[in-house]
Structure 1
Amino acid sequence: MKIAITGGSGFLGGYVVESLKNSNYTPIIFSRKKLNGQELKCELRITDYSEDSLIDQLSGINAVVHLAAKRGSQEKIHEFHNNELLTQNLYEACYKLGITNIVYASTISVYSNEKLLPWSEKQLPAPNSMYGVSKLANEHIGNIYSAKKGLFIKNLRLAHLFGFKEKNNYMINRFMRQAFHHEQLVINGKSVAKREFLYAKDAAKAIVCALKKKEISGTFNVGSGEAFTNYEVAKIINVVFKNKGNLLVKNPEGEEGIYSSYMDNSKSKKVLMFSPDYTFFSALTEIYTLMRGLDDVPLWY
C-alpha cells in the first residue's frame, strides 16, 4: 500500500517514513523542492500543492498522511493562510481521485483553558495562538470533507513533540544539547505549569494506527499520558544525560510565561488502539544513545 506524506522530509516526517516501512507500507514523500531521494530512502514526488499538481502526483496513492505546514511567527494569521489553502487543495484532489483514508497532524495548541484540564475532544477548542487557530481551521476543513464528500479524515491532536536531531532551540532540545555537553541548565521563573510531551516516534506510531482505521473519521488526542514542569524536564534530562545536579533556577518566584497543557487520551486508545511505547525517561535514554553516535552536537541551531 502506497502512503503519500506531505511534508515528509521534516522532523516528524522522518519518523513517519520509518514507522510506515516497519509496518510494510510504502511511503512516498511529497515536497515542494528536490531532495536527495537516496538519503530519504524512499520515492520523492515534487508538487507545488496546487490542486492540479496534487491530482497528478497522487496517482497510484492509497492513503495520505498530511504533515505539511508553515509555522509563521505566531502573530499574524495571514502567515498561515497558505496552510489552509494547501489542505483544501489536498482534500479536493483526494476526493476527485477516490482517496478516502487521510490522517492530519493537528496539535494540542488548539486548547488553552486550564480550568478544563485534562482536555478532551468533547470540549470546545480555544487556541491562544494564530498557529493553533490555523490548525483548528484545517481540522474543520477536514471535518467538512468527511461529512459532505465521504472522506475519512483523522485529525490527531499531538502533544508537544520532541525527538532526535530536531534542529531548533526550543527548551527541551536546548536542554538536551546542553546536558550532553555537561553545561548548566537554567530555568527562569517558577516552575508550576505541567506540559505533556510526546516522543516523535510514538507520534508516528499513532499515525500508523490511524491509517489502519480506514473508515473512521474524527478528532483524537494523542499524547504520552505524562506531564512535567520545566524543572522536572530539566532534572530528568540531567539524570539521563549524566549531567545530574547541574541546574540553576533564576528568580524562582517570577512568572514562567506558559500554561499547563495535557490531554485525556482515552479516545485514541479505545478507537485507534494507540498506546505509547516510550515513557519520557526511556525516550530520552534512546535519544542520548543516538546523540553519542554523532560527530557533532551543536549547542545552538
Structure 2
Amino acid sequence: MRLLVTGGAGFIGSHYVRTLLSGGFQPSSVSAVTVLDKLTYSGNRANLDPVAADPRLTFVQGDICDTALVDELVAGHDAVVHFAAESHVDRSIASAAPFVVTNVLGTQTLLDAAARHRIGRFLHVSTDEVYGSIETGSWTEDWPLAPNSPYAASKAGSDLLALAFHRTHGLDVVVTRCSNNYGPYQFPEKVIPLFVSNLLDGGTVPLYGDGGNVRDWLHVHDHCVGIHLALEKGRAGQVYNIGGGTEMTNKELTGELLAALGAGWDRVVPVTDRKGHDRRYSLDITKISEELGYAPSIPFARGLADTVQWYRDNRAWWEPLRERARLESA
C-alpha cells in the first residue's frame, strides 16, 4: 500500500511515520510513504530525521489547500492518513480564519481528490473536542457533536465532510477521535512541553482558572497504534474513539510536572480562564477495543517521566521552536 500522510512533520504525524518506517506496526501493508506538510510554525522536518534516509519515504512541502498538488499526490497513492490541521485552541480564539481554511477547506480538497481517484481508504484524524464538554460518563462515537471553540468547530466540520463523502460518494472513510496527546517532539506551546520547558529554565507556568478542567491523557504512541489499527482493520464509514484511560484535572497534572522537575507551587501563576473552556473530556473506547483490539499500553507515570526526560535531553530541538512561537505571537 502506498500511503499519503498529510501533516507528517507535525507531532503526531511524525511519530506515526517514524514508527511505521521503523517496523513498529505489525502487521503493516505499507510499502511507501509520502509526507505532505506545509511546515508552518508547528511542522518541523527535523521530526523525520530518524527515518529521513529510508528509501520508502518521500517528503513534499506543500499545502493541503493546493488543489493541483493534492490531486497529483493523491493519484499516486492507495490510501491517505490525514493529520494536517491547525490545532491550538488559544490560537483559534484569537483568529479563527486559518482553522476554517486548513481544517475544513483543506480536508474538502483532499476528499475531492480521494473521491476523484477512488482512493482505497481515507483515514481522518480528529479530536474528542468535537463532542464539547461532558459532566459525567464518557462519549461514545454516536454522541452528538457540540464543539465550543473555533478549533473544535472546524474539526467537527471536517469530520462531517469526511463522513458525508462516504455516504454520498461511497468513499472508504474512517474517522478517529483522540483524547489529549503527550510525548516527545510535541510543539512547546502545548501544556506539557510548555510547562516542562518553562520549569527547566527556572520560569513559571500558567494555570487556567481553578485548574479543575479534566482531560484524558493519551501517549502519542498509543494514539498512533490506534490510528494504524483503524487504517488496516476499521470499518468504512465508522468513527473510532482513541483514549488513554488516564483522566486528571489540570491542577493534578501541574502537580505531577512540578514533582517531576523538583519545583514548588510558587512557580505556578493563576491566569484568567480560557473563553469557552470545556470542563471535562472523557472518551468511551469500547468500540475500538472490541472491534480492533486496541488497548493503551503506556502507563501515564512512565510515559510522563520519559517525556520529561526527552525534553531535558533535547534542548536543541525545542528551544528554537519556543522562540519562534514567541516571536509569532508577539
TM-score by length of 1: 0.86
For 1:234, give the aligned amino acid.
T
Q: Deviations over 1:129-163 (max 9, x none)?
A: 11111111111111111112222212111111222
User: d(CA) in 2 for partners of 1:256 and 1:277?
Assistant: 33
Q: Secondary structure at the match of 1:73?
A: helix
Q: Matched residues in 1 for 2:39 and 2:212: separation? A: 42
**Aligned residue number for residue 59 of structure 2:** 44
Conserved 8 A contact 1:184-1:247: no
Q: Name the CA distance, whole Å, in 1 between partners of 2:130 and 2:79.
A: 25
Q: Per the alignment, in what secondary structure is the counterpart of residue 93 of structure 2?
A: coil
* Secondary structure at the counterpart of residue 114 of structure 1: coil
**Which structure has the highest helix share of the two?**
2
1:68 alignment counterpart: 84
| 2:34 paired with 1:15 | no
SS of corresponding position for 2:166:
helix
Match status 1:162 vs 2:182: yes
2:281 to 261, 270, 284: 261
Tell which deviates more after alignment, 137-146 or 33-42: 33-42
3-state SS of paired residue (1:207): helix
User: Where do residues 1-301 of structure 1 align in structure 2 (5 Å cutoff)?
Assistant: 1-21=1-21, 22=23, 23=25, 24=28, 25=30, 26-32=32-38, 39=49, 41=52, 42-49=57-64, 50-71=66-87, 72-74=91-93, 77-82=96-101, 83-115=103-135, 117-181=137-201, 187=207, 189-213=209-233, 215-241=235-261, 243=262, 246-248=264-266, 258=277, 259-296=279-316, 298=319, 300-301=322-323
What letter is aligned with 1:7? G
Give the CA deviation at 1:36: 6.0
Deviations 1:4-61 (A, max 9, x none): 1111111111101022222353321013469869836121134443333222122431
In 2, Cα distance between the equivalents of 1:116 and 1:190? 19
User: Structure 1 residues 272 and 216 mapped into 2: Cα distance closer, same or farther (>3 Å)?
Assistant: farther
Q: How many residues align?
A: 298
- Output one character per residue of 1:181-228: Cα deviation in whole Å (capped at 9) or x when no partner: 566656465332321122222221111111112643322221101111
Structure 1 distance, partners of 2:107, 2:195, is 34
Once the two structures are TM-superposed, the CA of residue 238 in structure 1 deviates from its matched residue by 3.3
Deviates more, 1:3-12 or 1:177-186: 177-186
2: CA distance, partners of 1:194 / 1:179:
22
The 4+ residue runs of structure 1 with deviation greater than 3 A are 32-40, 46-52, 75-79, 178-189, 238-241, 248-252, 254-258, 295-301
SS in 1 for 2:236: coil
Structure 1 residues 178 and 48: alpha-carbon distance in aligned structure 2, compared to 1, 3 A threshold: closer
1:70 CA displacement = 2.6
Q: Which runs of 5+ in 1 are unaligned?
A: none
TM superposition score normalised by structure 2: 0.79
Q: Distance in 1 between matches of 2:39 and 2:246?
A: 37
Is the 1:186–1:247 contact (alpha carbons within 8 Å) kept by the matching residues of 2?
A: no
CA distance in structure 2 between the aligned counterparts of 1:128 and 1:102, rounded to whole angstroms: 26
In 2, Cα distance between equivalents of 1:283 and 1:46 = 31
Contact in 2 for aligned 1:120/1:221 (Cα 8 Å):
yes
Cα separation, 2, equivalents of 1:171 and 1:105: 21
In 1, Cα distance between equivalents of 2:11 and 2:186: 6
Q: Are 1:75 and 1:129, in contact at CA under 8 Å, matched by a contact in 2? A: no
